[in-house]
């Protein structure tokens, strides 16, 4: 949803205003997440959604605003992500999401997620635009790539934490590629459904799934 929501906003209103609104929404959602201090489905997924929008905007600003090629921005965000992982592990001695029980570890987690979304946006645009695969082919490519950690974990004994983060990183360009394919015009090899309608449809799907998670979480707690 972040990819199409970002594209819709920056094309409908002033890009600087759109990025500012994205930053505010991101800050508010993340502040709310830190205040609850436990897993609340709608709060957590609101934060993830806002991170996806703002992460996309951050990557687009680097490319569109500063003219940095997708290949360069992809490498930059990959190095940034590796640095975040390195500092997180050096500080906490674990990257497991099940060990996120302190504010500092949660800060590392959300910084990782934000960097992951920026990297995924740049990587997806790199394959679709720079490498000229198009959005659908890029989606298929990342669908194949995301199967690698699952197979490696089950068949080759790949560490579960490594497999999780490998897959998590790939979810971003995978989802963004198919979302772009649905929303962009035929001149860009898309289905031309519009970024607005695609964003709305995905938001409804997310809301329904989060509602289901909220009910199951409450039922389990009781």
* Structural domain boundaries in the chain: 2-221
How many residues are there in the chain? 222
pLDDT of residue 58: 86
pTM score, two decimals?
0.91
d(CA 121, CA 123): 6
Average pLDDT across each block of 10 residues of the chain; the chain has 222 residues. List them in order.
Answer: 86 86 94 91 94 89 88 96 98 95 95 94 94 96 97 96 96 94 92 94 93 80 56
pLDDT of residue 109: 97
Q: Quick one: CA torsion of 32, 36, 42, 43, rounded to 10 degrees? A: 20
**Residue of 49, 52, 32 whose CA lies nearest to 117:** 52
pLDDT of residue 221: 58
Neighbours of 204 (CB within 10 A): 10
């Amino acid at each position: 949803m972040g990819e199409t929501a970002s594209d819709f906003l920056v094309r409908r209103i002033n890009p600087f205003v759109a990025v500012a609104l994205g930053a505010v929404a991101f800050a508010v959602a993340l502040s709310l997440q830190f205040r609850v201090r436990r897993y609340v489905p709608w709060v957590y997924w609101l934060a993830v959604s806002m991170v996806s929008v703002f992460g996309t905007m951050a990557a687009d600003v680097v490319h569109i605003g500063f003219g940095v090629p997708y290949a360069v921005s992809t490498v930059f965000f990959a190095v940034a992500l590796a640095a975040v992982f390195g500092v997180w592990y050096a500080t906490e001695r674990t990257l497991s999401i099940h060990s996120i029980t302190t504010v500092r570890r949660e800060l590392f987690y959300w910084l990782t997620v934000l960097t992951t979304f920026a990297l995924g946006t740049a990587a997806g645009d790199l394959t679709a635009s720079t490498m000229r695969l198009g959005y659908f082919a890029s989606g298929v490519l990342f669908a194949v790539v995301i199967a690698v950690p699952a197979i490696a974990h089950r068949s080759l004994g790949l560490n579960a934490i490594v497999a999780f983060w490998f897959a998590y990183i790939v979810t971003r360009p995978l989802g963004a590629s198919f979302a772009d394919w649905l929303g962009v015009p035929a001149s860009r090899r898309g289905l031309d459904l519009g970024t607005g309608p695609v964003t709305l449809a995905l938001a409804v799907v997310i809301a329904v799934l989060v509602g289901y998670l909220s009910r199951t979480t409450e039922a389990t707690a009781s």
